[in-house]
Structure 1
Amino acid sequence: MPIEGDALGTLTYDSAVTVTFDDRMLAHLQVVVWAKLRRGEQFSFTWAEGQPAEHRRTSVWIAPSIPLAFRYDGIDVPEIDQRWIDALMRAANSAGGLRPLPQPEAER
């Protein structure tokens, strides 16, 4: 489910579930996840995998006691877009929970 670019990192949840994201998307998800976990907040995280004809959806419960690892393909830290963080945080705080969202378009 790479979102953009060539560098594909992984998020591993509880040593049992691994999903691949573009490094840039993964970096933004990590900022949101770490912020919520630092505050001791629990929340759901849902993503889709596969081509449109074979989409599968996975949803996990993120809690401070569950091991979570972010592994990046590249060594460069992607530039963080605060508008994207804000959009992802709003999703994480909603009843639907965190989900990968496209980067917001630049304001004109």
Structure 2
Amino acid sequence: MRIVSKAVRNSARGKNCTLRLPGCNHNPETTVLAHLPTGMGGMGMKSPDNLAVYACCSCHDRLDSRTKGAEIDWRDITRALAETQQQWIEEGLMKIKGVAQ
């Protein structure tokens, strides 16, 4: 199932970067929903929206290898995914069956 959500994509506007890689610009005005490189996409296809994080333009460029730098520590990606999904749960954009909100 391909998960695409305009609400999830729009939720990134004005949010703090959850990726925070070295070189992060910490500017919420540049934050977008950055899809993680999961191998679930294809040529020109993104990962599902539930496998994405809030990333400033600097971190997004780094994640997509548009800029060079040290190898990305996958613990940063896991942390960012957890922080992003927690925000979605708190905002009602993601629901976990059996959890009262």
TM-score with structure 2 length normalisation?
Answer: 0.32
TM-score with structure 1 length normalisation?
Answer: 0.30
